Amino acid sequence: MPLRNEVQLITYADRLAGDLAGLVRLVRSDDLAGAFGGVHVLPFFTPYDGADAGFDPIDHTAVDPRLGSWDDIRELGRTHDVVVDLIVNHVSAGSAAFRDVVERGEASGSYPMFLTLSSVFPDGATEEDLTRIYRPRPGLPFTPIRLGGRLRYVWTTFTPAQIDIDVRSAAGKAYLASILDAVAAADVRLVRLDAVGYAVKTPGTTSFMTPETFAFIEDFTAQARSRGVEVLVEVHSYYKMQVEIGRSVDLVYDFALPPLVLHALFTADGTALAGWLRERPRNAVTVLDTHDGIGVMDVAPDPTVEPGEPERPGLLTPEQVDELVEGIHERTGGTSRRATGAAASNLDLYQVNSTFYAALGEDDGRHLAARAIQLFTPGIPQVYYVGALAGSNDMDLLDRTGVGRDINRHHYAPDELAAALERPVVRALLGLCRFRNAFPAFDGDVDVTLDGPVLTMVRRGVDVPDAVAVLAVDLATGASSVRWSGGPSGSGRTDDLLAAPPALGG
The residues assigned a catalytic role are: 194, 234
Contact yes or no for 8/83 (Cβ under 8 A): yes
Length of the chain: 506
Q: Compute and round to an integer the Cα radius of gyration of the chain.
A: 22
- Furthest CA-CA distance within the chain: 73
Burial group, residue 167, by CB count within 10 angstroms (0-12, 13-18, 19+) = buried
Q: Is 8 annotated as a binding residue?
A: no
Q: Is 175 annotated as a binding residue?
A: no
Q: Is 52 annotated as a binding residue?
A: yes
- CA torsion through residues 343, 344, 346, 350, sign: negative
DSSP H helical ranges for 229-334: 239-246, 257-267, 271-279, 318-331
Nearest to residue 410, comparing CAs of 11, 64, 135? 11
Q: Is 364 annotated as a binding residue?
A: no
Q: Is 90 annotated as a binding residue?
A: yes
Contact yes or no for 141/156 (Cβ under 8 A): yes
Task: Provide long-range contacts, Cβ within 8 A and 24+ apart, for 357-363.
Answer: 357/386, 357/387, 357/390, 357/391, 357/392, 358/331, 358/332, 358/391, 358/392, 358/393, 359/262, 359/294, 359/328, 359/331, 359/332, 360/262, 360/265, 360/331, 361/331, 361/332, 362/390, 362/392, 363/478
Q: Is 194 annotated as a binding residue?
A: yes
Q: Is 192 annotated as a binding residue?
A: yes
- Amino acid at the residue 337: R
Q: Is 56 annotated as a binding residue?
A: no
Q: Is 349 annotated as a binding residue?
A: yes
Q: Is 348 annotated as a binding residue?
A: yes
> Could you check whether the bond before residue 488 is cis, i.e. omega within 30 degrees of 0?
no
Query: 459 has which bridge partners?
Result: 446, 469
DSSP state of 381: E
DSSP for 281-307?
Answer: -SSEEE-S--SS-EESTTTSPPTTPPT
User: Coil, helix or strand for 269?
Assistant: coil
Q: Is 234 annotated as a binding residue?
A: yes
Residues 6+ apart with CB under 8 A from 1: none
Q: Give the annotated binding-site residues.
A: 52, 90, 192-194, 234, 291-292, 348-351, 405
Known binding-site residues for substrate equal 52, 90, 192-194, 234, 291-292, 348-351, 405
